[in-house]
């Protein structure tokens, strides 16, 4: 299983999880079998400066992710991930390592859109796409 986590930097398991899904600087990709991490690598977010809805979920899909974890995410992004069959978990914080352990233990699961999901989305909040 490949897990993508939105991150503020590319420091592997010590990377800080980004609360802003679509406008985070990087993603940490973790290949996991059971509870064992087999590989870790970071990729820059090619849409960090600007994106339209669907671009970032398409990029994460192209990276082969089965799961996307972030601090927050808008409802449109959640819908795009669902269309790709990618599981989404929001509410993450701390480091990538801490977030991964919370996800693998079942403590972190499911996605709730950010607070701005009703009236359209803007990038003044921390929800992401």
Q: Give the distance, in angstroms, between the CA of residue 88 and the centroid of all CA atoms in the same chain.
A: 8
Q: How far is the C-alpha of 4 from the C-alpha of 124, rounded, in Å?
A: 24
What is the value of pTM for the model shown? 0.87
Cβ-based burial of 53 (10 A; exposed 0-12, middle 13-18, buried ≥19): middle
> Residue 15 pLDDT more than 90?
yes
Tokens representing 68? 């996307």
> Residue 118 pLDDT more than 50?
no
Q: How far is the C-alpha of 70 from the C-alpha of 5, rounded, in Å?
A: 6
In the prediction, which pLDDT does 120 show?
Answer: 39
DSSP state at residue 95: B
| CATH number of 2-104, picked from 3.40.50.10300, 1.10.1040.10, 2.30.30.790, 3.30.420.130 | 3.30.420.130
């Amino acid at each position: 299983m490949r897990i993508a986590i939105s991150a503020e930097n590319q420091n592997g398991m010590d990377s800080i999880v980004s609360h802003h899904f679509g406008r985070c600087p990087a993603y940490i990709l973790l290949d996991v079998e059971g509870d064992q991490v087999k590989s870790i690598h970071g990729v820059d977010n090619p849409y960090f400066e600007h994106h339209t809805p669907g671009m970032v979920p398409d990029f994460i899909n192209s990276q082969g992710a089965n799961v996307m974890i972030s601090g927050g995410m808008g409802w449109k992004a959640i819908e795009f991930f669902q269309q790709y069959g990618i599981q989404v978990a929001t509410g993450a914080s701390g480091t990538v390592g801490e977030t991964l352990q919370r996800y693998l233990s079942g403590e972190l699961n499911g996605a709730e859109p950010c607070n701005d999901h009703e009236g359209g989305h803007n990038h003044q909040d921390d929800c992401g796409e």
